[in-house]
Amino acid sequence: MTSPDEKATVSDGTRERIESDPFCALLGVEVLSLEPGRATTRLVLRDEHANFHGTPHGGAVYTLADAAFAAASNAGDATRVALETNVSYLGASSVGETLVAVASETHATRRTAEYGVVVRRRNDTGNEGSGNGNGSDRANASDGDEANDGDETTGERIATFRGRAYRV
Amino acid sequence: MTSPDEKATVSDGTRERIESDPFCALLGVEVLSLEPGRATTRLVLRDEHANFHGTPHGGAVYTLADAAFAAASNAGDATRVALETNVSYLGASSVGETLVAVASETHATRRTAEYGVVVRRRNDTGNEGSGNGNGSDRANASDGDEANDGDETTGERIATFRGRAYRV
Amino acid sequence: MTSPDEKATVSDGTRERIESDPFCALLGVEVLSLEPGRATTRLVLRDEHANFHGTPHGGAVYTLADAAFAAASNAGDATRVALETNVSYLGASSVGETLVAVASETHATRRTAEYGVVVRRRNDTGNEGSGNGNGSDRANASDGDEANDGDETTGERIATFRGRAYRV
Amino acid sequence: MTSPDEKATVSDGTRERIESDPFCALLGVEVLSLEPGRATTRLVLRDEHANFHGTPHGGAVYTLADAAFAAASNAGDATRVALETNVSYLGASSVGETLVAVASETHATRRTAEYGVVVRRRNDTGNEGSGNGNGSDRANASDGDEANDGDETTGERIATFRGRAYRV
């Protein structure tokens, strides 16, 4: 839905607002990339993200995906809030691993918009700690589309999230 | 799915394990009541639960509901993990308010089980701060069923959550 | 959401319109009861409703539930169309059996409304063929609420459906 | 999930079984293409597919998507049945138009598998009536992935469907 020419159109004010989300700060969810209709977020899973089974809490994985959804849907001109979401929990993850969520807009009208979000485990463990989010992040940034599902350079799919938002 | 006679069957070990969830501790989600197939959780919304719009983050509301789902589905003999969840965001809530989620089992087989969770805003503001969770909590504990939807003593519905879990 | 006093408020024109749905006629889905915010539909499963596994097609079960959702959400003053739906397939059913879906409104604002639908297999096999839909239908009509889940007089839950509609 | 080499692996028996679905025959849903993990279905919307609003019934759109999901998930070695599905209704369609659904596998384990299905309105009106399903069908067959969302050669997105199946 977003042409390459629109990539630079997130205003500094919008970006700053989206990146200063209090709940994401509490959890440690970071925005890695942001364009109108597209966003990537990351969460390094720590002990505090675990549930009583000792595995990452569904609420932590959900928040990572929901943050990508919220960022993608508010990076343009519109202010949008969630109406409906759903998640499939597909693969296991563990404390110590890094999860990345890529949200992309699949449909938008004046009233509502739909976003698909794919949450993957990061395969690489070295180069993203610096926070520059390049290289493999760029690879991950393009894997919201199903075409990359077999791409060996991306990590295992942990969850699929779909969200519908409306314009306020 | 749970007969009255089973109400007391949550073992101390199970209860302690469910109540010591690290991610719930990070957010402030408390387990108010617990039976096999049924659980109530509570979250007092604070500044740190807000999103970049200034309203409670979807991830916080989701975690409250998911915690009730996880508690209800693991209060009996089985260990269950989430397979699929979905949420309808229905009403607005604000920092400073208290949300309560009531989960109840709607179907269970040896392999999978389904839970409905209703998240409501607490109407009363005085008597639950002490943590005893009686009175209105008991009222809320029974409003997982649709029959109480018009019950004046319960708060406004904020979200409906449905979860499917499988036995591991 | 609907008080007893409103029960009689479905106009003849509205009822006739809802009961003359062409797709429901193609499948054999009947409207058994109709009130604003509440509706019951029925489908006698025949060979033509089977999928290539030989069991009832998901599309047939879905249509039965969706028809109850559509009837309940359009029985009052508003014209509403579906925005999002989701289904959990819980129990098996077979050609020759009768399924009944009960939809009830769980939330409504001026803009959107939410409905829960429970699909059950009919336990009784004798008295509903005449189309009067009394007795056990009434029992089924009240089992949209979770409180009746353990009710011995109702059939096994086959599916749970949730729908969100908006006013046009 | 499916490599090009696997494309020819649908046995004649499996294909014949999938293509002889009684409920799809009742509605007029056709299987246009079939590979393990991937399938395309088509429905020409007729008067009998309308709901009481006069627009295509949600159950008809759902069945089209569900048929693609069932075909894709049963085209390989495994027999799979639906566990959970969800749909976003995005765009309007009308009697007389043709809808095409493309299902593609997004995740699979020994136990469960997930499929995304995109339902689009056919732009072209001339060349698919012959049933050869080439040309634009092939174009549609590749648009299950999000990358093609802006592709001018494909029709408007009518609905997004996601399904989770388990192996029996």
The 10s digit of each residue's pLDDT in C30-45 is 999 999 999 999 999 9
Contact in structure between C34 and C68 (CB atoms under 8 Å): no
- Quote the pLDDT of residue B154: 72
Q: Which of B83, B85, B87 to mutate to test the interface with D (most CBs of D within 10 A)?
A: B83
Q: For chain C, what is the mean pLDDT?
A: 84
pLDDT beyond 70 at C53: yes
Enumerate residues 6+ apart whose C-beta is below 8 A from D161: D62, D65, D66, D69, D85, D86, D87, D88, D101, D116, D117, D118, D119
How large is the average pLDDT for residues A25-44?
98
Report residue C136's pLDDT band, with 50, 70 and 90 as the boundaries: very low
Q: For the CA atoms of chain A, what is the radius of gyration? A: 15
How large is the average pLDDT for residues A107-115?
97
Considering only CB atoms, A87 lies closest to which of B67, B85, B89, namely B85
Contact in structure between C64 and C31 (CB atoms under 8 Å): no
Q: What is the DSSP letter of D77?
A: S
Cα dist. D24→A103, C48, C57, C68, D114 in Å? 34, 9, 9, 22, 22
- Quote the pLDDT of residue B124: 59
Which of A3-7, B98-102, D124-128: highest mean pLDDT? B98-102
Complete DSSP assignment for C19-60: HT-HHHHHHT-EEEEEETTEEEEEEE--GGGB-TTSSB-HHH
- Quote the pLDDT of residue B8: 56
**Structure-token pair, residue D155:** 């029709």
Q: For chain B, what is the mean pLDDT?
A: 84
Beta-sheet strand order (sheet of D157-167): C30-35, C38-44, C98-108, C112-121, C157-167, C80-89, D80-89, D157-167, D112-121, D98-108, D38-44, D30-35
Beta-sheet strand order (sheet of A157-167): A30-35, A38-44, A98-108, A112-121, A157-167, A80-89, B80-89, B157-167, B112-121, B98-108, B38-44, B30-35
CB contacts of D147 in chain A (<8 Å) are: 145-147
- Quote the pLDDT of residue A135: 31
pLDDT beyond 80 at C74: yes
The 10s digit of each residue's pLDDT in C83-108 is 999 999 999 999 999 999 999 999 99
- Other C-beta atoms lying within 10 Å of the C-beta of residue C162: 26
Cα–Cα dist B86/B89, whole Å? 10
How large is the average pLDDT for residues A58-81?
97
How large is the average pLDDT for residues B72-96?
97
The 10s digit of each residue's pLDDT in A72-95 is 999 999 999 999 999 999 999 999
Contact in structure between B140 and B40 (CB atoms under 8 Å): yes
Q: Is there a contact between B162 and C157 if contact means CB atoms under 8 Å apart?
A: no
| Longest pairwise C-alpha distance within chain C | 46
- Quote the pLDDT of residue D130: 36
Considering only CB atoms, D90 lies closest to which of A114, A145, A147, namely A114
pLDDT beyond 60 at A4: no
Q: How far is B54 from chain D (nearest CA, A)?
A: 27
Look at the block and give the residue holding tokens 């879906």.
Answer: C101
**A106 in contact with D, Cβ within 8 Å:** yes
Q: How far is B10 from chain C (nearest CA, A)?
A: 20
- Quote the pLDDT of residue B132: 34
Q: Using CB atoms and an 8 Å cut-off, which of residues 32-91 of chain A contact chain B?
A: 47-53, 55, 57-60, 62-63, 66-67, 70, 74, 79, 81-89
Q: Is there a contact between D26 and C22 if contact means CB atoms under 8 Å apart?
A: no
Q: Is there a contact between D88 and A107 if contact means CB atoms under 8 Å apart?
A: yes
Cα–Cα dist D24/A30, whole Å? 46
Contact in structure between D137 and D49 (CB atoms under 8 Å): no
Enumerate residues 6+ apart whose C-beta is below 8 A from D55: C81, D92, D93, D94, D95
Cα–Cα dist D146/D131, whole Å? 26
**Structure-token pair, residue B13:** 């070990």
Cα–Cα dist D33/D15, whole Å? 10
CB contacts of A20 in chain B (<8 Å) are: 52
Cα–Cα dist C11/C31, whole Å? 15
- Quote the pLDDT of residue C143: 37
Helix (H, G, I), strand (E, B) or coil at B130: coil
The 10s digit of each residue's pLDDT in B114-162 is 999 999 999 754 444 333 333 333 333 333 343 333 333 479 999 999 9
Per-position pLDDT tens, chain D of length 168? 444 444 558 999 999 999 999 999 999 999 999 999 999 999 999 999 999 999 999 999 999 999 999 999 999 999 999 999 999 999 999 999 999 999 999 999 999 999 999 999 997 554 443 333 333 333 333 333 433 333 334 799 999 999 999 999
Q: For chain A, what is the mean pLDDT?
A: 84
Cα dist. C31→A91, B116, C16 in Å? 42, 26, 10
The 10s digit of each residue's pLDDT in B101-111 is 999 999 999 99
* Residues belonging to chain D: 168
The residue in chain C having the minimum alpha-carbon distance to the alpha carbon of residue B156 is: C107
How large is the average pLDDT for residues A54-72?
98
The 10s digit of each residue's pLDDT in D25-38 is 999 999 999 999 99
Which has more pLDDT, A152 or D42?
A: D42
How large is the average pLDDT for residues B55-83?
97
**C157 in contact with B, Cβ within 8 Å:** yes
Query: How would you class B124 by CB atoms within 10 Å of its CB: exposed for 0-12, middle for 13-18, buried for 19 or more?
Result: middle
CB contacts of A164 in chain D (<8 Å) are: 88
